[in-house]
Homo-oligomer: A and B are copies of this chain.
Amino acid sequence: MALELEPIVKVRTYEEVVHRIQDEILSGRLRGGDRLPGERRLSEMLGVSRPTLREALRVLETLEILEPSVRSGPDGGPLVRAKPGEALYHLLRTQLALHHYSMRDLVETRYSLEVAAVAWAARRAQPEHIERLEGIVARMREPGLDRETYNELDTSFHASIAPATGNALIGQLMFSIRGAIKDEMLDTFERVADWDETRDRLTAEHSAILDAIKGGDVARGEQVVRTHLIDFEPRWRAEAPTDGSTVSS
Q: Which chain A residues have a beta carbon within 8 Å of chain B's beta carbons? A: 14, 22, 25-26, 28, 31-32, 51, 54-56, 58-59, 61-65, 80-84, 87-88, 90-95, 97-102, 104-106, 108-109, 112-113, 115-116, 119-120, 122-123, 167-170, 172-173, 215-220, 222, 239-241, 244-249
Q: Which residues of B contact A245 (CB under 8 A)?
A: 219, 222, 244-245
A246–B218 Cα distance when bound, in Å, is 8
Count of this chain's copies in the oligomeric assembly: 2
**A100 engages B112 (CB within 8 Å):** no
List chain B residues, Cβ under 8 A from A220: 248
A168 x B25 contact (CB < 8 A): no
Residue of B nearest to A24 (CB): B97
Distance from A165 Cβ to chain B, minimum over Cβ atoms (Å) = 9
CB neighbours (8 Å) of A116 from chain B are 109, 112-113, 115-116
Determine whether the beta carbon of A98 is less than 8 Å from that of B32.
yes
Tell me if B64 and A62 are in contact (CB < 8 A).
Answer: no
CA distance A56 to B249 in the complex (A): 48
Q: Which residues of B contact A113 (CB under 8 A)?
A: 112, 116
A218 touches B91 (CB 8 A): no
A–B pairs, 10, beta carbons within 8 Å: A51-B54, A64-B100, A80-B98, A101-B169, A101-B172, A105-B168, A106-B169, A112-B116, A112-B170, A245-B245
Q: How far is the CA of A87 from the CA of B18 in the complex (A)?
A: 14
Q: Give CA–CA (A92, B28) in the complex, Å.
A: 16
Pick from B32, B90, B98: contact of A99, CB below 8 A. Answer: B32
Residues of the B chain whose Cβ atoms lie less than 8 Å from the Cβ of A167:
104-105, 108-109
**Are A244 and B119 also in contact (CB < 8 A) when A84-B95, A95-B64 are?**
yes
Q: How far is the CB of A215 from chain B (nearest CB, A)?
A: 7
